[in-house]
Amino acid sequence: MKQVNIALIGLGTVGSGVYKTIGMQKSYIEHKEGMSLNLKKVLALNYAIEIPEALKAKDFYTDIVQDETIDIVIELIGGVNPAREFVLESLKAGKSVVTANKELLARHWPELNAAAKASGAGLYFEASVGGGIPILRTIWESLQANELTSVMGIINGTTNYILSKMEEDKAGYEEVLKEAQQLGFAEANPKNDVEGFDAMYKLSILSSMAFHARVPVEYIFREGITNITREDIAYGNELGYTVKLLAIGKKRGKTIEARVHPTMIPKTHPLASVRGAFNAIFLHGNIVDDIMLYGRGAGDMPTASAVVSDVIYAASQSRHRYTSFYNEANVSSELSFENNWECEFFIRILAQDSPGVLAKIASVFGRHNVSINSVVQKGQSGESVPLIFVTHRAKEISVKCAMDDIRYIPEVIKVANVIRVEK
């Protein structure tokens, strides 16, 4: 039976899950796959679980890089440094690397890919997007006959939990965030999740794989959920929408648009029913049409499932595959990236209840070629009232310009929110 010697770097939440999974499933994997996974060394600053002293690596280079018997290195410490050094040195030594590190891959993929190709090692990263959902290998190995033209997904469990609870409990953002932190769904510093950085890194990887073209994070529009209020969610509900932080990628010919932002989607859309910390990714291929993959997008064991699957897959390859699209530090000259995409918009404006204010706002929309689909006025006469507009499909820049002008209308107290709508 083939023995696969493994070094594990990082023993936090996911690392602990990988350690447990290899131990729990060892006999099953041997029976099913005909290989024995042998965890030879573990390197960590802090050991979240107890492991034998003999497994603890004292030095990365001596105990892992220079150990010729180690076949695969699993990197689970996250962030760019020192993870980048660990991954690069492992690849240069001819050791295949399995990682869940979306930020490292999104920012340094060309460098890592080149190092893997140069030594003939493998680079595997299924767990970097969607946790336990096998989305990347589905694109890589099951949808080869398709030109994928769109990806749209809920790929951050923290924000989906927060938005779901805000809707279910009719609660405010700060209140739900505090609850999410107490339950462990959100970090003490939640910026990476709630400001959309985590989803941006994942979309860079996901859209690159889907569109067969590298999509750097610098070309992805990003907006978080911190400005979403219970009022936005309530008014959206009345109009038949739910609010999700979506990662959206679309490809038309050689033009790609990639964006992460709060989005209103119809309650009839398959993604609308994804609640709590679950993830789901909706794909459209020109042959297969629409498909959606759903599951747990984070957590120790779901992510460990993807990591260990990559280990088995890597160990099964006689020759590793690498990205066949242009994957360099600079962007391919054949591609262009859209920053003036078109969609519908939900716009909430707080205005004085004065005669003619609605006509003034409508006139500004008209000047910027933004067509109004519907308008709802809330509140009673004599008060400041919220005006809820839903536009027809309009250009992003046109709507931004219209909002800039509307803010100067004397009767407008503020533009409370602008949320994109996707159907």
Alpha carbon 164 to its chain centroid, in Å, reads 17
Whether residue 222 contacts residue 229, with contact meaning beta carbons closer than 8 Å, is answered with no
- Report the distance separating Cα 198 and Cα 218, nearest Å: 14
Using CA of residue 156, residue 158, residue 160, residue 161, what is the dihedral sign?
A: positive
Element of type H or E holding 177: helix 173-183
- Tokens 């100067």 belong to which residue? 408
Q: How far are the Cα atoms of 33, 40, 116, 161 from residue 27, in angstroms, in the given order?
A: 10, 17, 30, 36
Identify whether 395 is a catalytic site residue: no
What the block records as the tokens of 77 is: 């410490």
**Percent helix, strand, coil in the chain (nearest 5)?**
40, 25, 35
- Report the distance separating Cα 417 and Cα 235, nearest Å: 12
Which of 202, 244, 250, 251 does the annotation list as catalytic?
Answer: 202
Residues β-bridged to residue 344 = 421
What the block records as the tokens of 361 is: 């706002």
Phi/psi zone of residue 150: left (φ > 0), alpha (ψ -120 to 50 degrees), beta?
beta
**What residues are labeled active site?**
202
